[in-house]
Structure 1
Amino acid sequence: MNETSLTALFILLVGLIILSAFFSSSETGMMSLNRYRLKHMANTGHKGAKRAQRLLNRTDQLIGVILIGNNFVNILASSIATVIAIRIWGDAGIAIATILLTVVILIFAEVTPKTLAALFPEKIAFPASHVLAPLLKLLYPLVWSVNLFTTGILRLIGISSAQANEDHLSREELRTVVNEAGALIPAKHKDMLVGILDLEKVTVTDIMVPRNDVVGIDLEDDTDDIIRHLRNSQHTRLPVFEGDINNIQGILHLRSVAKLLHEDDITKDMVRQLCQEPYFIPESTPLNTQLLNFQSVKRRFGMVVDEYGEVLGLATLEDILEEIVGEFTTDYSSTSPDIIPQDDGTYIIDGSTSVRTINKTLDWELSTDGPKTLNGLITERLENIPDTNVCLKVEGHRVEVLQIKDNVVKAAIVHPRHSSKRLRKRPAKEIE
């Protein structure tokens, strides 16, 4: 073999290694594409994304044409390298060619191009689709034959292509996608998206106003008191009951009674007639379901009841929306009268404050599976009504009961878990 022929073989060998690198990078680039980003780009008219999506719709054919091309190129390169090595080193050239070609292909045709494609899949896959699409048409009979045998082998071991997972995200996977979006999605938007995903985990009892805190109209009160209450109310809708909240008569919208407030002859019967039929919500209703229920019945306000029909509290559409968009204040931690920060790093918290409110305001992780309020957490831990000088630990937080009234914890000092400050020096009975 003359020098010209040897040079031509070297050039051909280099070209085959480049082709091998192309097929290797194409395979990794195509398989590394984000399918959801690819669909979005294809829907916006990106031509490269459309070609890549068409190829990925038949993954078996795409892999078939890439591997046929890659194996053909590698085998041909191995044969040529062997011929060159034998011409240069004789019989010893076979071993030399095997070692050298393995190293060259591994570095320049496998690891390097695949790493590059994994880092920048779109920059590799979209240009490669210009070559792979016509190559698939050219080699389709061969690809079809190979896939036919491959499918038959898979069926023999009990695997069908119909069992392949479709590109659908579960709720938890979608939450991970949202959380890992980084700066692509503003933090406030992330919170809203996650809030929507979490609606089904929260029931109306988690966000309702407890019955002890419900503000309403008691028809057994004096008429003057009722009128005064209507004029000074800060709420647009009020439950109307007679004697006890379980004996609810209806829901009064203050807009309906606004004109009558300028008169002094409002009667209880007039208030009763202006009431809308009460709407009741089972206590175990998830928020996502209740949101749709409010929409279907055209209501914004409902009374939460237990399995025996006892009123537990009330829930509103605004309460559910706040689970998605957050509190309707600029800085809830500074405006909430129920959670008051102290100079020593502790918090004075109203006993009726919900555990979810505490978690969201202070970024804590108190369990929401049991009691819904701080008072409930304390009494569950003690298993009785505490004294005002009791100190205890609740899920790692030091709690000092400040006030008891009507057998309910009205206020307590709560220390953050990381706080190293001591409790106030006062007689106290500590429960670990």
Structure 2
Amino acid sequence: MNTVLQLLASLSLLVFIHELGHFAFARLFGARVERFYLFFHPWFSIFKYRSKRSGTVYGLGWLPLGGYCTIAGMIDETLDAKGLQSTPKPDEFRSKKAYERLLIMAGGVIFNLLLAWLIYSAIAFTWGDKYLSSSALKRGYSFSQVGHQVGFKDGDIILSTDSKEELNALSNRFVQDIYMAREVRVLRQDGQIYTIELPSDMLERIVASEESLLSLRFPFVIDSVVKKSSLQAGLRSGQRIEQINGVVVGRLEDMYQQLKHSRGGMAEVGLYDAEAQEMKLMQIPVDSTGLLGISFRPLQEVYADQIQDIRYSLLGSIPAGLSRATSTVSNYVSSLKLLFTREGVKQVGGLGTMGKLFPQQFDWANFWSITAFLSIILAVMNLLPIPALDGGHILFIFIEILRGGKKLSDRTMMRIQTVGLVIMLLLMIYANANDIYRYLLK
């Protein structure tokens, strides 16, 4: 329920801002807005008000799945052509100049991008940034099968890419910086530095494998012990677990795999006390679910002395937010090519996939960061030249300009819009069916 509420709150804000963009540019250029609604309202509205000055009906529906802004004299997704046979009125969309109509249609995208910039700037000002050089992670990373195929080895420490000399291991763009690079320099456990050339289809390979490219190998330092049996067996806060049942554990997956073999019994745990130089072996009871009853210290606490806390002034947060917004747009646009691959199509998801972005425990920093990311997704997807999307309308306007101001006929526009709506409906069904299919496979 926590995740669902976060998703609905985020999408409601994004849709409102998107439609507000259309509304603002329509009013700027004197186009009449007939309706401005948040949420849909089959049968009834929770709230409805008609402005006496502009005639616009403002409303709040009860079905929280979007919203809309209806502009007079425009063929939109409602396919309502009523009144278009009459002579265009000065306050109608169709009577406006090409550049005015273009900006009205791009208004939603513009406002979503501005919102992302504003949110990222606010995040930078409120919480700042944390920086941890990837070269400081002396245990390196464990890599997926795809990573091994291109030349990475478990334990490699990421030093730099062709575009960045320093990489922030705490950045949400860290993994993207790696798989989008042409070359990655690593420090191997033998003390040698190697340059790994990545193939041009690296992203497609990762998506096809359905595995993350890498996972951090960080010290498993015990933060607390919650099971009485584990306390009695000698586990204490501050100890560092190195191996289980004789197998060195570099990832949580390795640890869970070994503990699974000892469910309901005893596991041989190799660990170091805080200041000890030698590993000691202990027999620790494992519960029926394969857990020891302990929690580990977060990465930011383990490497606390190497993490830089970066703070921004109000003015300094603005370019910091812009930098994060532009890099997020660039990375997302670069990944859109996956939509045209078989592997990418399999990963398309709907509301369920978006919901998974939000953690079950609410956190303001995470909520706003994910909302900014979704705002960018909404902006970029709406720019795709598909009829029924803003990008489709913008494409029509560009065609008109190239034809010397000659517009497409209303009948042609209606047909194209109908095809676009069918395509969008099929994509929505496919995306959400994918979510259901993946859920049933669990």
* TM-score, L = length of structure 2: 0.19
Higher relative contact order (CA 8 A, sep 6+): 2
TM-score (norm 1): 0.19
- Whichever structure has more helix as a proportion of its residues is 1
Higher-Rg structure is 1
